[in-house]
């Protein structure tokens, strides 16, 4: 049996293009799936962690919406003004952190799109938590 050249071209085309489309479709689906965040989950609670020393590191955090949170602030010989944290939407009002150690604050689940910002006592250092 003789296969026409055009038929052969169609077969090759289909053999290459079809898997490519399937692969691209799968990739876009899998990339769209889980929400990317900078946080970790411990015992079902989202931990939003940053370091306070000469500012806040990181100072932009993506967190998951609709889950109970804990804001965890780590200090390491922090004697500058970032040791006083002001984050009113999280109920933290000019809170003086211990100079070294871990301080945790409970934070209720937040809706997607909410941004909680914070600053040091002088307002020079900034941190932003975005819920997605």
Q: Which stretch binds Cu ion (CB under 5 A): 30-38, 61-69, 80-88, 93-101?
A: 80-88
Q: Does 81 bind Cu ion (CB under 5 A)?
A: yes
Taking the complex as a whole, the smallest distance from the CB of residue 115 to Cu ion amounts, in Å, to 20
CA distance 56 to 73: 9
Backbone angles phi, psi at 8, to 5 degrees: -60, -45
CA distance 117 to 102: 20
Helix, strand or coil, per DSSP, at residue 90:
helix
Q: Does 84 bind Cu ion (CB under 5 A)?
A: no
Contacts of 16 (CB under 8 A, 6+ apart): none
Compare residues 66 and 122 and give the one whose CB is closer to Cu ion. Answer: 122
Which segments of the chain does DSSP mark as H helices, in order?
Answer: 5-32
How many Cβ atoms are within 10 Å of 106's Cβ, its own excluded? Answer: 11
Taking the complex as a whole, the smallest distance from the CB of residue 43 to Cu ion amounts, in Å, to 33
Among 73, 85, 116, 120, binds Cu ion (CB under 5 A): 120
Compare residues 72 and 86 and give the one whose CB is closer to Cu ion. Answer: 86
Taking the complex as a whole, the smallest distance from the CB of residue 41 to Cu ion amounts, in Å, to 31
Q: Which stretch binds Cu ion (CB under 5 A): 45-53, 61-69, 98-106, 115-123?
A: 115-123
Binding site for Cu ion (CB under 5 A): 81, 120, 122, 124-125
């Amino acid at each position: 049996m003789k296969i026409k050249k055009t038929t052969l071209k169609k077969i090759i085309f289909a053999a290459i293009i079809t898997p490519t489309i399937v692969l691209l479709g799968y990739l876009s689906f899998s990339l769209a799936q889980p929400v990317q965040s900078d946080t970790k989950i411990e015992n079902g609670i989202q931990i939003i962690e940053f370091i306070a020393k000469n500012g806040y590191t990181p100072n932009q955090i993506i967190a998951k919406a609709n889950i109970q949170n804990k804001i965890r602030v780590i200090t390491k010989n922090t004697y500058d003004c970032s040791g006083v944290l002001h984050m009113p939407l999280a109920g933290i009002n000019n809170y003086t952190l211990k100079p070294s150690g871990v301080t945790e604050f409970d934070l209720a689940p937040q809706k997607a799109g909410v941004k909680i910002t914070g600053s040091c006592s002088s307002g020079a250092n900034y941190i932003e938590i975005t819920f997605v």
